Chain A
């Protein structure tokens, strides 16, 4: 591919916001990776090995090794079929808009990745599970899928290779929990989008009970480039052990909110100060959620940490989706915590008690604090609830994701919480 050595995912994306259609994508070197695989004699095993070696880690936020996940799909003649590939495009994490960018601007890159991933796991059917509100992405994806079918990149016997893949676009009815890997599978089956217990893992018992791999849009979009340029090259893009580039985003009261493809492991300070231009004039930085609203706050002292899956946990946070939300000194941290908790409480699927019950309670407490009704003891109640939402205590990661920002907000901005109670008002109102 041209113009893409340092920014493989976005290098070809047009600045005017228009979509890279099939001719333009092919012009830029698109669909060469599937030719390399399907006509170049690569086997599913070699594709998996390449992706594993590239150390591509899941960009949905969990950071699980993609190649490893693929290798868990049962192979051989006695395995149940069909095998499914599901692309999680249900991007609904507050503050996160990275997949949308790829979906709207370069849908063929995703489709090519899907075909490669499908080939690697020997999938028969692929679904793209798209957030319902992403109407432009839906329009552009539908068109891209039609183009790919017309050019025999999808469907039966792709490029005469004998490999066939049917790909369907499914629009979500719209709940945050549908973005959970297994909640998504239930939603796709037409059931309540409650997450499923693991084990059994989706690679063994997934969509309609069959082996299924669920991958994020950004993850899959990386795959054609790994195939084209190799694992070594992909490693070289990164500043750390986690391979590749990363789409980093910034929202909040900064000078230039936006989205940038940067080497994996770029520090939060670089993203914030160099790319987003720092805080707006007159505002001071107080903290940020590095990867969407379900990641713990980091503050000034952590800004030089490389933002990747390995380093961020060392400062008590997570990379998440890599799209940060910045808190400034003119915004109430309690209000921000309330806003996020309100979101999580609203989006709880209602399955496990600590989540459906506790989130609603915490939201009421935070709301009352914002309304000047906070009482001594409220912080203890919040802390005890957040503890109830620890990983493993709840059924899925939604409530732990709600606990992280709340607990760190209470840790880093404790005096602000205390002031709400002591002054019977929100000092920012």
Chain B
């Protein structure tokens, strides 16, 4: 550490960082705009000026930009210096010349970094007397709103969107005081991470358009810390509600997981909570009934010995465990299709056994050579794709280091690196978005991907079995071998155990980290709870061993072919479904129970990293909507801690998941943690048009959070941060005040508990079931899933904004016989479908892909062979 004197007081600062970073680490209020912990320094806004002195005798000093000056030992600066203060206020004055001062009608108002910084500098009166420059705003699609007049030209948006996220359709146009940040024409932002612009923009140029439909100020929202439900990455989010509607998702910083950024599915998928498809009240044969009556009916049906329960990989550990307890472990089924269950089990076996470590997203970002086997990450595990866009810079960083460019000097680093990229190899059945930053790509059917993987492992370690050599194998092996932090990524997406096993062999041979993706937010948790897969449940009913089925948060029509599900539900005497949304499955249920979404319940998910993380109820739901585990409530559990205690006893292996967050009894100096930001006045008058007596705030028996703005003023532990706020820091930039240093770990440790930490020295045994090379069949196609970032995931299909962008079901082929866009008939074991055909020359011969998870293709079992013909 270096000692830096700020206004004559010594502070320990990281000499590898700049002075702004150092000052913020110590909680010193120094305003800034263009700098961002994840984006580094460029020196554009000139807002963070301080006075730099040569030594203790220098009283003159000179102004420098703290973000552009290294925090080296003995540096002496002043923030309070009069000239520096006047200059900083002058910069704000300059930024305000053209700013519209429309705070009262601006969505950013109350959480605007520009507001905060303006107040911080003390600039408060206007001297500019001329007209302002105006822009034409653009329609950027359903997710991000554009109001260009508010722009202060800090360049953060384009630096994030282009340099960080790899987007191409947002740019800075023109010059001087008319630089326009937008697209070359109106249109939907193409990048999958466009929503982060909302938080990157220090003012109201880019705001959340979904929030606009049901706007509320930050200070009027009630938040809870939560975990994203739209894939298995486990990104941390804060969700905000007002008047019973979920209004928005914002990023909840987790140094090890999502850092500062979310994908658009994660940020905007929340609207399913407000969907018109929500189950609002219990229904028995389509008729509403009371909660008590519904519960009685449920108990009655379960009393018979012939009940089975079907869990779900998108329901929490607690919900699954509650059903398991309710029906009994031997009558509990995991809710996964057989193929998926097998893959999930294999995934857990690999992660548990090691010796490869499953990396956190931060570690993935720091990897310097990566081999992806079988995964379309941008669609399946989007946040990981964003991390990989940073990881390809790791090796080239050496160029900047050799040129003595500090790592935080963003443009200097980029000038030095230019387009150099470190090794990233992608082997997938079809071309993926990440290919554009890949060193080389390989296309093949899953069996051939596995064979490539085995060959790479063999090239790394001759002991590892292989059946075939590939020209690319030695290159990949070399890249992994010569890397400091090699990484192998695979997962369940191409539905092949052999692919995952091959990846495990490569990781073992390369002593690399291994990251396996899973399809749903709690696939790993559901697999750990166990239970037989779906076919076994179907058999139980078919064989007459069961006649009553309780289905938990699971649309079986997405798991199995429709005719099988029809037969199953038809044969069961009583079908009881708990879910958030009306689905084809709930529609067939005799009793439908409205289950709380992540926003209306508490629970734990285990991410594909193996990280158990808690999500908390954002708001007390309407009377009839209950957390699934509350509907079932076996053993008369009183609160979430009871469920977790019971879970830890029944499944000791899952016991660590209980400590994913502090218990309901947790207090800071005797006080709960407020879900709502503190405000000066008015909150208690919110419902005064209905009743003048102050309504009682709902109790929360399940967590240490209160449904109120009252509670501790102190910063809560990471798992319990409902929103980021500090005095003077109303925007999301307040995150820095929760961290040990900007961009670093949270002060009290980051949220979540890792379930898999295999010993580094576990004996390795090679997987050796190498599949034969893929043989295309005459007149038939091997059907594989193609994942769509917009459309394939179940819950976000019900989100209003995202629905507009969702892909329609299609079949993708590499064929000269079929014409683009024409309708074809697809026949396979799962059914016959009429679909438009898309020609994809990237697909291997004999392989066709189907839009994954999009009705009517949701339940198609893949891989499978099928015929594709033009309808007669």
Contact = CB atoms under 8 A, between A and B. Distances in A.
Interface in A381-408: 381, 384, 388, 390, 392-395
Contacts of A348: 175-177
Contacts of A390: 63
A393 B415 contact: no
Contacts of B411: 196-197
A259 to B, nearest CB: 30
A80 B418 CA distance: 13
A350 B94 contact: no
A15 interface: no
B87 A356 contact: no
Interface centre among B47, B63, B98, B127 (most CB of A within 10 A): B127
A183 to B, nearest CB: 11
A224 to B, nearest CB: 32
Contact of B416 (A209, A354, A358): A209
B693 to A, nearest CB: 51
Contacts of B771: none
B418 to A, nearest CB: 4
A94 to B, nearest CB: 17
Contacts of B153: 350-351, 353, 356
Contacts of A6: none
Given A345-B176, A360-B97, A393 B43 contact: no
Given A209-B417, A353-B44, A395-B43, A361 B128 contact: yes
Contact of B46 (A199, A347, A353): A353
Interface string B411-431: 110011110100000000000
Interface in B78-115: 87, 90-91, 94-95, 97-98
Given A177-B175, A395-B44, 6 more contacts: A348-B176, A349-B175, A349-B176, A350-B175, A353-B47, A361-B94
Contacts of B683: none
B404 A200 contact: yes
10 closest cross-chain pairs (CB), A and B: A357-B94, A350-B179, A348-B176, A209-B418, A360-B177, A350-B175, A205-B416, A364-B130, A356-B177, A200-B405
A192 interface: yes
Interface in B130-162: 130, 152-153, 155
Contacts of A349: 175-176
27 contacts: A196-B412, A197-B412, A200-B403, A200-B404, A200-B409, A200-B415, A205-B403, A205-B405, A345-B177, A348-B175, A348-B176, A348-B177, A349-B176, A350-B172, A350-B174, A350-B175, A351-B153, A352-B44, A352-B45, A352-B46, A354-B46, A354-B94, A356-B177, A356-B179, A357-B94, A361-B97, A394-B46
B510 to A, nearest CB: 29
Contacts of A428: none
A53 B177 CA distance: 44
Contacts of A196: 411-412, 415
B62 interface: yes
Contacts of A360: 97, 176-177
Contacts of B95: 353, 357
B178 A350 contact: yes
Contacts of A208: 418
A205 B176 contact: no
A208 B403 CA distance: 14
B399 interface: yes
Contacts of A392: 62-64
Contacts of A361: 94, 97, 128, 130
Interface in A176-199: 177, 192, 196-197, 199
A354 B64 contact: no
Contacts of B415: 196, 200, 205, 209
B87 A393 contact: yes
Interface of B: 42-47, 49, 62-64, 68, 87, 90-91, 94-95, 97-98, 127-130, 152-153, 155, 172, 174-179, 399, 403-405, 409, 411-412, 415-418, 420
A361 B409 CA distance: 30
A265 to B, nearest CB: 30
Contacts of A351: 44, 153, 155
Contact of A205 (B97, B412, B420): B412
B52 to A, nearest CB: 10
B177 A350 contact: yes
A123 B177 CA distance: 38
Interface in A330-370: 345-354, 356-361, 364, 368
A353 B176 CA distance: 9
A253 interface: no
Interface string A190-231: 001000110110001100110000000000000000000000
Contacts of B94: 353-354, 357-358, 361, 388
A199 B94 CA distance: 27
Contacts of A347: 175-176
A200 B178 contact: no
Contacts of B177: 345, 348, 350, 356-357, 359-360
A175 interface: yes
Contacts of B412: 196-197, 199-200, 205
A200 B45 contact: no
Interface string A233-255: 00000000000000000000000
A361 B130 CA distance: 8
Interface string A105-142: 00000000000000000000000000000000000000
A194 B404 CA distance: 22
A394 B411 CA distance: 16
B360 to A, nearest CB: 31
A352 B128 CA distance: 19
Interface centre among B43, B49, B174, B415 (most CB of A within 10 A): B415
Contact of B176 (A359, A393, A394): A359
A358 B153 CA distance: 13
Contact of A175 (B129, B175, B409): B175
Interface centre among A205, A359, A368, A395 (most CB of B within 10 A): A205
A360 B152 CA distance: 14
A359 B411 CA distance: 24
B17 to A, nearest CB: 16
A288 B127 CA distance: 32
Interface centre among A208, A375, A395 (most CB of B within 10 A): A395
Contacts of B416: 200, 205, 209
A361 B90 CA distance: 12
Nearest to A211: B403
Given A352-B44, A360-B97, A388 B90 contact: yes
A346 B63 contact: no
Contacts of A357: 94-95, 97-98, 177
Nearest to A395: B43
A368 B42 CA distance: 34
Contacts of B174: 350
Contacts of B47: 353
Given A204-B403, A361-B97, A392-B63, A356 B90 contact: no
A296 to B, nearest CB: 19
A204 B94 CA distance: 34
A377 B126 CA distance: 13
A393 B63 contact: yes
B128 A350 contact: no
A207 B90 CA distance: 34
Nearest to A204: B403
Contact of A393 (B46, B128, B175, B409): B46
B399 to A, nearest CB: 7
Interface string A144-175: 00000000000000000000000000000001
Contacts of B404: 199-200, 204
Contacts of B44: 351-353, 395
A166 to B, nearest CB: 19
B679 to A, nearest CB: 32
B159 to A, nearest CB: 12
Nearest to A384: B90
